[in-house]
Structure 1
Amino acid sequence: MFKEELQKAAAEYGINLTETQIAQYNRYFELLIEWNEKINLTAITAPKDVAIKHIIDSITAYDAALFQAGTTVIDVGTGAGFPGLPLKIFCPEIKLTLMDSLNKRIKFLQTVVEELGLKDVECVHARAEEGARNKKYRESFDIAVSRAVARLPILCEYCLPFVKKGGHFIALKGMQYNDEAEEAVKAIKVMGGSSTEIRPVKLPEIDDKRAVIIINKTMPTPKTYPRKAGTPTKNPIV
C-alpha cells in the first residue's frame, strides 16, 4: 500500500526511485508507525499522507548542484527524521548528521539508520543552541536543512551557525514563506548569510502553497550566536 502510494507520488513529482530506495522508504514508514504508538513522532500516519507530506516533501530540499558525493549535511531539529533521512535515502552519497533535543527520538532514528543499513549517518542528542556552540559542529557543514515549525528569523539563528562559509541553509516552509523571507532579512545578515533564493514547490495532489528557501552563507556567524536556549524564540532578530 505505502509502496504504491510512494511510487505514484514520486512519478507525479517527476523523480525516479530505485527498488532499494522504495524498500528503504517502506521500512522507514513501518518503523515510524510502530514507534509512533510509543512516542509521539507524527500526526500524519496514512500511507498516502506519509508518502506525500513527509517523504516527497523532504525530497523537495534536494538540489543536484548542492548535494554532491561527500557533502556534509545537518538536519537541525529533525524530529522523526524529516527532511534528513528521506534526503539520505534519495542521495546516499551525502554525510548526514541528525540533531534533536529529545533522546527518545534519537533512539528511534538510530534504529531506522541501523535497520536501513545507512552509512555515514550520525544521530546527535542536543538542542540546536548547544550543538552550534560545540566546536565539532559549529561552521562545519556544507548544508543545514530544517523543516521545523519555527519562523524563519528564529530558524536562521538555530541553523546558520552550523554552516561553513560558502555553504547553504535550506529551509522548507509553508504558505507564509514570502512573509517569513522578508521578516528574516535582518537575521540572515546578522548570522552571516547573504543572498536568498525562494523556490516554490508543488506537492502531488496538494493545493497548498509551500517553498524551499536557500540561503547562502558568506561570512562567519558572530560568536555571540546562537543565544541561550529560548531566547531566539522569545526575542527573534527582526
Structure 2
Amino acid sequence: MSAPSIPTPSNCYGAWSARYYQSGEIVTGRDGRNYACDPNYFLYCSWTEFEPGTGSYPDYSGLAWNLLPTSCSVPPAPSPSVPTATSPPSKVLIPTALPPAPSDCPSVFADSRIYVAGELTSYGGVIYQCTTSNGRCFQSGYEPFSPLGKEAWKVIGTCSGNPAVTAPPASTTCPPFFDKFVRVYTTGDLASYGNVIYQCITSNGRCIQDGYEPWSPLGVEAWKVVGTCNVTRHLRQRKIE
C-alpha cells in the first residue's frame, strides 16, 4: 500500500519583501491572496506602507498592488474522526475604519523647492512628509516617488482634489560656489552648490573639513540651507567692427 501524497500549495508565489519590484510582478500576501504590482505605481511596491494583504493600510496597498482572482491555497489534510472539545467562540474584532482622505492635497512636489523636516508635499494622490533636513528631500534621486525616496520621505496619507497653490520662492543671485581650497568659511559665510544656498553655522573649522561639505550627510553639523538661487552664466559679447 503506497503512502498518501502530501498536499502541495497551488497558485502560490513568493512572499512580499522590501525589495524593488517591476511592473506586473506577483506576490502572495499574508492573507493568502495573490497581488500584482501596479504598472502606474510600481515604485511604491517596495514600501512597507504599501505591503499587500495585511489590512493595515488598504488605501495605500490598493494603489500599488492589484488583487488577482487566484489565491494561494493548500488542500486540507484529512483529519481523524476523533471528537474534540468545543471551545467558546472567540471575540470578533471589527477593524476600525481609516479616516477619510482630505479633499485638498498639499502642493505637488517640485524639485526647485527647498524642503526641510516636517514639510508636506503630494504626488499622485499620496501625501509625503520630509523626514530630514540634510538636503536629501530636494536632492536629485531622492524624490518621494523614487526608489531612494524612503530615505528622505515617509507616506502619511492620501488625498483627493486639487493641490494647494503655493507661490514660488523668490529667486536671488547665487553666492560664490563652495570651494574650501579658495576660501576659509566661518560662521555666517554663504556658499552655493547647484542652486542651493548654504550658510556656515560654526567656526570650529568643520565648514572646510573633508566630509562636512554642505551637501554631504555630515554637512548638517556645519551648514544650514537658507534658500535657493538662480545659476546664471554670463556670456562674453564680441564687438563686431
> Which category describes the TM-score, using the shorter chain as reference length?
under 0.3
More helix by share: 1
Higher relative contact order (CA 8 A, sep 6+): 1
Q: Which structure is larger by alpha-carbon Rg, 1 or 2?
A: 2
Superposition TM-score, scaled by structure 2 size: 0.21
Superposition TM-score, scaled by structure 1 size: 0.21
